[in-house]
């Protein structure tokens, strides 16, 4: 399992650990839905195509690696296109911050906070998937958590 750990108490950046080994870092933008992912294999860009609409993309060296569409603005659900796979990432309950990843009707993974009062997150997705893909899915869940927090504060 992969774990996302905030770099400090107020940061929106995360260190990514797997079996207590640092495997990468995500630097998220405070004002826009974009981030930079630093892994041993290179740098990835995570961003939304448009400022307020459009698909969410994972890109490396100008090539789109993964794409997610949010079909409805008020739903916590993404339709995700990976090479040779179409998946759905959706919130499992109105009362929970846990997201489930589904291939057809079968749940194949989840992303969830490590506790009630923490911003740490567990990324429980197939370990044989590329690291960048798993982190892209975490970033999508993180965006929904951040939107929820902003809505609650207003």
Over residues 22-57, the pLDDT tens digits come to 999 999 988 789 999 999 999 999 999 987 789 999
CA torsion, points 124, 132, 34, 69, in degrees to nearest 10? -70
Best CA proximity match to 82, nearest among 99, 65, 69, 70: 65
* pLDDT at residue 18, rounded to an integer: 95
* pLDDT at residue 118, rounded to an integer: 78
Q: How far apart are CA 103 and CA 87, in angstroms?
A: 5
Beta-ladder partners of 107:
102
Q: Which two tokens stand for residue 32?
A: 């826009």
Over residues 103-154, the pLDDT tens digits come to 999 999 999 999 887 789 999 999 999 999 999 999 999 999 887 776 666 6
Over residues 59-74, the pLDDT tens digits come to 999 999 999 999 887 7
* Domain-wise residue ranges, the chain: 2-153
First to last CA, the chain: 34
Is the separation of the CB atoms in 4 and 10 below 8 Å? Answer: no
Kindly report the pTM of this predicted structure: 0.92
């Amino acid at each position: 399992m992969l774990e996302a750990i905030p770099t400090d108490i107020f940061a929106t950046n995360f260190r990514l650990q797997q079996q207590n080994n640092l495997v990468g870092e995500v630097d998220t933008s405070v004002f826009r839905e974009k981030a930079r992912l630093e892994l041993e294999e290179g740098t990835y860009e995570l961003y939304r195509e448009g400022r307020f609409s459009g698909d969410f993309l994972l890109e490396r060296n100008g090539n789109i690696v993964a794409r997610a569409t949010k079909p409805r603005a008020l739903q916590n659900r993404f339709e995700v296109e990976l090479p040779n796979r179409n998946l759905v990432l959706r919130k499992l309950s109105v009362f929970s911050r846990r997201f489930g990843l589904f291939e057809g009707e079968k749940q194949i993974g989840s992303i969830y906070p490590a506790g009630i009062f923490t911003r740490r997150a567990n990324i429980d997705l197939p370990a044989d998937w590329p690291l960048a893909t798993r982190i892209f899915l975490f970033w999508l869940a993180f965006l929904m958590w951040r939107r929820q927090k902003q809505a609650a504060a207003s």
